[in-house]
Structure formats: C-alpha cells, structure tokens
Amino acid sequence: MANWTTANIPDQSGRTAVITGANTGLGLETAKALAAKGAHVVLAVRNVDKGEAAVEWISRSVPDADLELQRLDLGSLTSVREAADEIRAKHDTIDLLINNAGVMYPPKETTADGFELQFGTNHLGHFALTGLLLDRLLPVPGSRVVTVSSIGHRINAAIHFDDLQWERSYSRVGAYGQSKLANLLFTYELQRRLTGEKTSALAAHPGGSDTELMRHLPEVLQKAVPLLRPLFQDAAAGALPTLRAATDPGALGGQYFGPNLTTRGYPKVVPSSDQSHDLQLQRRLWAVSEELTGVTYPQLQDARA
C-alpha cells in the first residue's frame, strides 16, 4: 500500500496499547491515533503533569478516548519495575507495547543507575520494560512490540562494549547512534527468540521529525534547523511508521518501517544497516543488557535459534 495513513488503521476496539513517552511528539500522536480507533491506551510518561495535559489534548480531539496514565521513568530501573508491576496489576493482557520514548544529543549525563543517559533510556530502559511485560503479550494472538529507532543508527554508530557508558570520552552523536543501533539489534534478536510465538517484534523510524526531541541539538545545528526544516515532517506524519508497524495486518515480525523518502513521506518497509543484522552483535548486546538490567526473558530462552 503506497500511501498508508491513519485511515488504514484497523479497528482497535478491545485492544490495549502501552506507549512510552506518550505525552509529547511522536508518542502523543501515536496515542491519539490508536485512541481514535478504539484502543485502550496507556500513556507511560516520566512527567505526570505533562501526561495529564496529553490526556486532555487527546480527549479534545477524541472525546470518547479510553486513556490511562502511568508514571514511568526509563532512566530508573526501579521506576521501570514499579511501572511494570502496576501495569501488570491492571492488565492481564497487552496487545501493543510501543517503545517510543527517547532522548537525543543531550550533554553528558547518567541515569539513576549510572548508565549513559541515551543508552540507558533509549535501550536499557525499554529492554527491561519489555522483558517485565512480555508475559502479558505472549498469550495474545497478533500482539506486537514496536521499538522506535532512527536513521541515526547509521551515523557514527557502534556498540562500544569496551566503554558502553562513554566514561573515557563522550560524543553525544556517537552515543545516540549507539542507542538507536541497540534498538534495532534488540528488535531483531527479540523477533528471533519469538519464533513460534503469537507475539512479534518490529521497529520503526520517523525520518526527520520536527519534535521536542531536537531540543538538545548542538548550537551549530540549532542554527541550521530553519534551513533544514523543509526536509522534516510534523509529529503526526513522523508517527506513521510506528503506527503501521503496530497495526498493519500485513506487517511481519522483524520488519523495519520508515518514510518512503528517508526523512519524510508515507511509511514503508525500509532497510537498516548491515551492522544491525549482525547475529553475534545482537546476541552479545542481549547478554550484556540482561546483565546490566537484571531482567531476563525466561519464556523465550528455549526459542532461541
């Protein structure tokens, strides 16, 4: 389907979607679109006040929206575990887990657990959350885990196993690239482990989207934003690859969706870097992520190829 839009989202009535970072930008638009199609949407957000504002904003456009607010700080494994426990207590099943939240190009900073902020939030927090909620997804036919990556997974990107937390030196671009590459390595390894299960894992990227995520751009790039803006698309368009990965009945586990014109356009299946498909890299990152987070996926250990 060449020009896929929110009009192509099937009815989501009776389905539960958990979306991280749903209070702004891509996550907010994703939540709005799914709510408009009848899904019960859990907005998992770090700032509850902003989350409440997001609920009000969606409700103005979708008066009958079925929304739930959940506090979640992906930069704290304690918060991730608390949020997972609360979600599990309220929901016996989950149809969609959309790992959307992220930070891009901040000054050097660490999470509550001492991880480099981008790697800890964008990858490790989502790795832990997915593992802790997986048993709510596995029984549901057609359930999906969708993780938002970036074209940045190709830019100065590598998994620096010798210095994952960038303690020796720090590149905000390199650290972001590492975290977004990690999102894809995680998705592909998760999908392989899900072989034979009712749940699938997919990834998406928004292209160049003009969202709050750009607030940490270095000053020289901030000055260039007005000139580059014609290459960007708004958050509603940027959310389309995620929405297609989450809801298109024809989407398959392991697929990666992005705009058809790279930085903007309608969503389609797109390629990712050769590095993201490196099996040994995927498995090594998985093992390290289990060690760092203390979260394992026991249900899938026997499914590994």
| CA separation for the pair 182, 149 (Å, rounded) | 8
As given in the structure block, the two tokens for residue 195 are 């072989």
| CA separation for the pair 262, 249 (Å, rounded) | 23
| CA separation for the pair 220, 256 (Å, rounded) | 31
Query: Within a 10 A sphere around the Cβ of 166, how many other Cβ atoms?
Result: 20
Whether 67 and 55 have beta carbons less than 8 Å apart is answered as yes
As given in the structure block, the two tokens for residue 124 are 């490790």
Q: What separation in angstroms does the CA of 223 have from each of 79, 152, 226, 228? A: 36, 20, 7, 10
Q: How far apart are the first and last CA of the chain?
A: 32
- Name the active-site residue from 105, 170, 176, 297: 176
* 176 a catalytic residue: yes
Enumerate the active-site residues.
Answer: 176
